[in-house]
C-alpha cells in the first residue's frame, strides 16, 4: 500500500503521532481536523491538507482517531458523506462504545465502505514513535489491506475477531483495568502517606518487585509525585471510558462494582476542577477521602 493516499481525520495528541508515522512510512497522508493548527503542523511535515471531509473520503483508505462517540457520530456517520465516498475502507482507531461500533459497521456496509475497528494501547510519545499496540477486528480481507498501515503505526497488531465491536470490547476492558490500577495505587499511596511513608518509596518497591511494567511504573510515579500535567490522556476521557465499560457490562448483565466507584471518583475529580489534567489526577480523590493535606 506504500504510495497510496491515506485520508486521516483527527489530529489530537494521538492522531498527530499516528499520521506522522504514516508519512514516515512513505504514504501520502491527506489530513483533516476540526481546528486548523494541527493541520498546518502536519502540512509542514509533508502532509496534504484536506479542505473537507469529502476530500478525505476521496482517498482509497481513511483512518480516523477521534475523541468519543459524539465526534465520530457527528463527523463520520453521515450517510451523504459515505454515499459519496471514493474510499473503500475506513479504519476507526477511536475508543468508542459497542453500540456505536455496531451502527458504524452497518452504515458503512449500507454504502459499500469497508469498516474495521483498530483502537490502540499507548500514550502520545508511543504514538509518535510508531510503537503502539493495535487491537483490530473486522473482515479478514479488510484487515489484510490495512496491515501495512498498522505496521507503520505500531509495533504489534493483535487480532480479536471479525466483528469490529470485538476490538472495541477489548480496548474498553483494558482501559477499565488501567483505571482500576490508578485507583488502587492512589489508595495504597494514601494509606502509606497517612502512616508516614513517602508514596515514592512505596511505588519504587512495588514497581521493582510485585508490579513491574509500564502501567504501574508510569502511573505509579505520577500518582506518588502528584504529577498530572501535561496531560497525556485527559481526565474527562477517563470518565468516558469507565462509562463505556459500565455500559458494556450492562448490555450483557456483567456487574462491574469497581466501575461504579471509579465513575464517582472521576466525577469528584471533575467537580474539583481537574478536567484539564491527566486522568491519573483521579488519585487526588483518594487523598481527599483520606484527609491528607493539599
- Would you give the distance in Å from CA 14 to the centre of its chain? 8
Place of cell 477486528: 137
* Of 25, 3, 239, the residue nearest 151 (C-alpha): 25
Bridging pattern class, strands 5-9 and 28-32 = parallel
Contact by Cβ (8 Å): 91, 146: yes
- The count of other CB atoms within 10 Å of the CB of residue 57 is 23
Catalytic one among 30, 145, 171, 240? 171
C-beta separation of 138 from 113 below 8 A: no
Active site residue 277: no
Indicate the SS3 state at residue 212: coil
51 contact partners, CB below 8 Å, separation of at least 6 = none
**Coil, helix or strand for 27?**
coil
Q: Which helix (H) or strand (E) holds 93?
A: none
Q: Which residues are tagged catalytic?
A: 171
Amino acid at each position: 500500500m506504500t504510495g497510496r493516499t491515506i485520508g486521516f481525520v483527527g489530529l489530537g495528541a494521538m492522531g498527530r503521532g499516528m499520521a506522522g508515522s504514516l508519512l514516515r512510512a512513505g504514504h501520502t497522508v491527506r489530513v483533516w481536523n476540526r481546528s486548523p493548527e494541527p493541520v498546518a503542523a502536519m502540512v509542514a511535515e509533508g502532509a496534504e491538507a484536506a479542505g473537507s471531509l469529502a476530500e478525505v473520503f476521496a482517498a482509497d483508505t481513511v483512518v480516523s482517531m477521534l475523541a468519543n462517540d459524539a465526534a465520530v457520530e457527528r463527523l463520520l456517520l453521515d450517510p451523504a458523506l459515505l454515499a459519496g465516498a471514493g474510499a473503500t475502507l475506513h479504519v476507526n482507531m477511536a475508543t468508542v462504545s459497542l453500540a456505536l461500533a455496531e451502527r458504524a459497521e452497518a452504515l458503512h456496509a449500507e454504502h459499500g465502505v469497508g469498516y474495521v475497528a483498530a483502537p490502540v494501547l499507548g500514550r502520545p510519545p508511543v504514538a509518535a514513535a510508531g510503537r503502539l499496540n493495535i487491537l483490530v477486528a473486522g473482515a479478514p480481507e479488510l484487515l489484510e489491506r490495512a496491515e501495512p498501515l498498522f505496521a507503520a503505526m505500531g509495533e504489534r497488531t493483535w487480532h480479536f475477531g471479525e466483528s469490529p465491536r470485538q476490538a472495541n470490547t477489548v480496548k474498553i476492558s483494558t482501559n477499565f483495568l488501567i483505571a482500576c490500577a490508578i485507583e488502587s495505587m492512589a489508595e495504597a499511596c494514601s494509606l502509606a502517606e497517612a502512616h508516614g511513608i513517602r508514596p515514592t518509596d512505596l511505588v519504587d518497591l512495588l514497581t521493582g518487585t510485585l508490579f513491574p511494567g509500564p502501567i504501574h511504573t508510569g502511573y505509579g510515579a505520577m500518582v506518588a509525585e502528584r504529577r498530572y500535567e501535561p496531560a497525556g490522556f485527559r481526565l474527562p476521557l477517563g470518565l468516558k471510558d469507565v462509562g463505556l465499560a459500565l455500559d458494556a457490562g450492562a448490555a450483557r448483565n456483567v456487574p462491574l462494582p469497581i466501575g461504579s466507584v471509579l465513575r464517582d471518583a472521576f466525577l469528584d475529580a471533575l467537580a474539583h476542577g481537574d478536567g484539564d489534567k491527566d486522568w491519573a489526577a483521579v488519585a487526588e480523590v483518594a487523598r481527599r477521602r483520606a484527609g491528607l493535606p493539599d
